Chains A and B, each alone.
Chain A
Amino acid sequence: MTLGALAGGAAQVGLAAVFVAAAPPKVLATAELTYTLERLGVHPAIARAASPVVVAAEFLTVLGLLVSPRAALPRGLALVLAAGFTAAGMKALADRERVACACFGAFGRSARLGWRQVRLFPAWLLLVVVAQSHPPEWEATFGLQVLATLALALTVALLATGVPLWSRMRGDRIAIRQEPAIEPAGLVEAG
């Protein structure tokens, strides 16, 4: 395997990894994506219709990049989506608005649209150009294995943040549960 082929494969997997991290968490957060689009000035009806389309496009990009690695279309779709994210960041900057970004669902709740999207566009472009210049030639089976590996790795990463959160909340729940056993002080009759 040549260095170019290795770089092309790595760039393709890198692109896919970003969309694997972005698409599944957004499946249950389309309302947030709709809100983000509305804040960017998109008509509410169009924003509602566009949210699932964006998520579906991200899923299609992942599948295309990994299952059909030689095809140029998934890389083109990745570039279009990246351009869309950058445009959203620029719009938020131009409007001087603090727009919450549902970019990665549970992975990045506090993220906001802005310079980050603009700065990342060259990186997107570089990955697409490298992958396009040396398109990977793996089989669909291997691509699906990569997909499963990426998804499981991200699941483990999510659990690493979710388990401590669950542990804290369980402690709070135990503490709160003890409260109803006591009559609130305000209800105790004086004298």
Chain B
Amino acid sequence: MTGVLAIAVVVGILAVVLLVVVSALVELFQQVQQIRGYLDMVDRVTPLDLGRSKGVSASAVGLPAALDTADRALVLFLSDKCGSCRTIAATLAGGALPPTLTLLIEPMGDSTASIADEFELVGERVLVDHGERIATLLGLDIFPAAVLIERGRLEAAQTVPTPRQLYAALPIVQARVPARRQSTNDQMTPITKED
């Protein structure tokens, strides 16, 4: 009986200690979150209002006509002067853009898309919005921002504070796997790595 009581005492104490430790941990998490919120270091997107542009076709606001036939796509607006834009540009540097992403550079003042040159952002889906014409039409005055296109129409807009949020917002493209082995006569181009 004494042994059982001793075990019950130990288990009771351990359970209370565990509760104290977990309470301290949660308390710590809450404090860190509070500090980050105060310092504006929380990675959170803010929805942006597209106004009258919501629901119109991509080409109607000056975006590439190819987007009118896109099932789902994301247009990323980067200014060449904001710090977060440069962080995102650095993650896209030198490589091919994700297949559903179109990049629009917003040159500020007299500069000529320096962010694209600096981070080697090249390709058909990297464009320069001279004079902020498209951004102004969409009412975007905060960068980095992204516009989601669904079935060729502008669906929603949001801020993109970090690369993590960019990749979270990117529409996923389902890979098309052939049901059977294709013959060599099919017009398929093998993927090769260029040196």
Chain A residues close to B by CB (< 8 Å) = 20, 24-25, 27-29, 105-107, 109, 140-141, 144-145, 147-149, 151-152, 154-155, 158-159, 161-162, 165-166, 168-169, 171-172, 174-176, 178-179, 181-186
Contacts and interface: CB of A to CB of B under 8 A. Distances in A.
DSSP class of A's interface residues: helix, strand, loop or mixed? helix
Interface in B1-25: 1, 4-5, 8-9, 11-12, 14-16, 18-20, 22-25
A161 B33 CA distance: 13
Nearest to A186: B83
Contacts of A172: 36, 41-43
B97 to A, nearest CB: 18
DSSP class of B's interface residues: helix, strand, loop or mixed? helix
Given A109-B30, A172-B41, A147 B12 contact: yes
A55 B86 CA distance: 51
Interface of B: 1, 4-5, 8-9, 11-12, 14-16, 18-20, 22-27, 29-30, 32-33, 36, 41-43, 81-83, 85-87, 90-91, 161-165
B19 A154 contact: yes
Contacts of A107: 23
A24 B29 contact: no
A106 B8 contact: no
Contacts of B11: 144-145, 148
B87 A158 contact: no
A21 to B, nearest CB: 9
B24 A148 contact: no
A159 B22 contact: yes
A141 B5 contact: yes
